[in-house]
Amino acid sequence: MTTEETVRADLKTRVDALLEAHDPATVERLDFLRAQFDAGLAWVHFPEGLGGLGLSRAHQTYVNELLAAAGAPDNDPRRNGIGLGMAAPTILAYGTEEQKRRFLRPLWTGEEVWCQLFSEPGAGSDLAAVATRAVRDGDTWVVNGQKVWTSSAHKARWAILLARTDPDVPKHRGMSYFICDMTDPGVEVRPLRQITGEAEFNEVFLSDARVPDAHRLGAEGEGWKVANATLMNERVAIGGNATPREASMIGFVAHTWRTRPELRRPEAHDQLMSLWVEAEVARLSGTRLRQKIAAGQPGPEGSGMKLTFARLTQQITGLELQLLGEEGLRYDDWTMTRPDIVDFTGRDPGYRYLRAKGNSIEGGTSEILRNIIAERVLQLPAEPRADKDIPWKDIPR
């Protein structure tokens, strides 16, 4: 047998053992998930004892297939995207043994949902400008400040938190990274309503919130380094899977054009087709990017993909409203809701148009992405800046 076959055989044995001991048909969902974690079959690329087996990430796909075939429950990863995608790898990389043991299991099972307390009203693109202060009081930190753009905050048990612990050193060096208890009385969550009417995100107000020093992740003053590791994991998520032609936003307009000939206008055709071509080229560029990664040539194209995706969704939804004419003047519902899961496409054309505006802001604005491409890919000089070497407290704000 090849090594690969040996690994697969071993995984099969482990999965069979798990299924035998915990029949998905009868055992409680949460009990099954805990057992899966303890069997190292949660994320096999994590270390043994922490839900994994120290294998490569790709093997998890095989495990998932076996489990799905057996009717096993999954951990509903969309409900805890920040926890699984950002908090977990950061805890694994920077956490103490105690932190790993405490947090990773309930995170993975979804018993404890996580959120992220990074952005602030004054620290958007310039994340290193966070002003939320954490002041040491014995073996706890007292935290004050305001965070924004926090999804799932109202459901989260824990948050990863970036706060300023030393204002007397330059901005990048005076931050620390914490795990914050969202049930602390000093934490207040308010829904942050968007232009679509709904509140996907929250504002979080921290008023003398207390965080034990044992919940610090990484060394004091090393928060920027830890946060960057977190953000790297965010960017890895972009790219996604292969999708068929017209599976993206262009599919809605194409469907309208095909099924409603009364809305077709010759003067709109060239714009429709330009966007169709661009959407298809973008889709194929995703394929090419995945091929490059698979061939061991990872590149910086992810930033370019995101730029293109944002521009296209905006242009396409804008055209859609014009094509629809009268229907484009109507909207489905302005009622404020707090959706569990974001869906860019699930609602009506007006919603798609408005929601698409966020695509060029969230997860790195298009402007910041252009800077990144210019500086990292094209090796052009960085922006002149005056905030790098002077103490945080002396930077003009």
Q: What is the DSSP letter of 47?
A: P
Catalytic residues: 234
Decide: is 213 part of the binding site for other proteins (CB under 8 A): no
Which of 7, 278, 337, 363 binds other proteins (CB under 8 A)? It is 278
Q: Looking at beta carbons only, is 217 or 272 nearer to its own copies?
A: 272
Binder of residue 395, out of its own copies, other proteins, none (CB less than 5 to 8 A by kind) = other proteins
Decide: is 381 part of the binding site for its own copies (CB under 8 A): no
Which window, 41-49, 59-67, 69-77, 315-323, contacts other proteins (CB under 8 A)?
Answer: 315-323
Minimum CB–partner distance for residue 385 and its own copies (Å): 8
Q: Looking at beta carbons only, is 47 or 251 nearer to other proteins?
A: 251
Decide: is 337 part of the binding site for its own copies (CB under 8 A): no
Which window, 53-61, 62-70, 78-86, 332-340, contacts other proteins (CB under 8 A)?
Answer: 332-340
Compute the distance between CA of residue 263 and CA of residue 97 in angstroms, rounded to an integer.
Answer: 62
Taking residue 78's Cβ as centre, other Cβ atoms within 10 Å add up to 10
Decide: is 118 part of the binding site for other proteins (CB under 8 A): no
Compute the distance between CA of residue 85 and CA of residue 307 in angstroms, rounded to an integer.
Answer: 21
Decide: is 139 part of the binding site for its own copies (CB under 8 A): no
Compute the distance between CA of residue 359 and CA of residue 143 in angstroms, rounded to an integer.
Answer: 31
Decide: is 270 part of the binding site for its own copies (CB under 8 A): yes
Residue from 95, 122, 118, 119 nearest 107 by CA: 95
Cα Rg of the chain (Å, integer): 23
* Bridge partner residues of 210 (DSSP): 142
Compute the distance between CA of residue 290 and CA of residue 295 in angstroms, rounded to an integer.
Answer: 8
Q: Looking at beta carbons only, is 1 or 378 nearer to its own copies?
A: 378
Which of 254, 337, 338, 342 binds other proteins (CB under 8 A)? It is 254
Which of 7, 169, 321, 342 binds other proteins (CB under 8 A)? It is 321
Q: What is the DSSP letter of 275?
A: H
Compute the distance between CA of residue 284 and CA of residue 37 in angstroms, rounded to an integer.
Answer: 37
Q: Looking at beta carbons only, is 25 or 386 nearer to other proteins?
A: 386
Minimum CB–partner distance for residue 309 and other proteins (Å): 11
Residue 262's contacts (CB-CB under 8 Å, 6 or more residues apart) are none
Nearest-5° angle of CA 227, CA 119, CA 87?
40
Q: Looking at beta carbons only, is 19 or 289 nearer to other proteins?
A: 289
Q: Looking at beta carbons only, is 81 or 350 nearer to other proteins?
A: 350
Residue 120's contacts (CB-CB under 8 Å, 6 or more residues apart) are 129, 130, 131, 132, 145, 146, 147, 148
Minimum CB–partner distance for residue 174 and other proteins (Å): 14
Decide: is 97 part of the binding site for its own copies (CB under 8 A): no
Taking residue 231's Cβ as centre, other Cβ atoms within 10 Å add up to 16
Residue 278 CA, chain-centre distance (Å), reads 26
Binder of residue 67, out of other proteins, its own copies, none (CB less than 5 to 8 A by kind) = none
Decide: is 149 part of the binding site for other proteins (CB under 8 A): yes
Decide: is 259 part of the binding site for other proteins (CB under 8 A): no
Residue 216's contacts (CB-CB under 8 Å, 6 or more residues apart) are 141, 176, 177, 178, 179
Compute the distance between CA of residue 301 and CA of residue 25 in angstroms, rounded to an integer.
Answer: 44
Which of 57, 245, 255, 269 binds its own copies (CB under 8 A)? It is 269
Q: Looking at beta carbons only, is 244 or 384 nearer to its own copies?
A: 384
Binder of residue 366, out of its own copies, other proteins, none (CB less than 5 to 8 A by kind) = other proteins
Contact residues for its own copies, defined by CB under 8 A = 266-271, 384
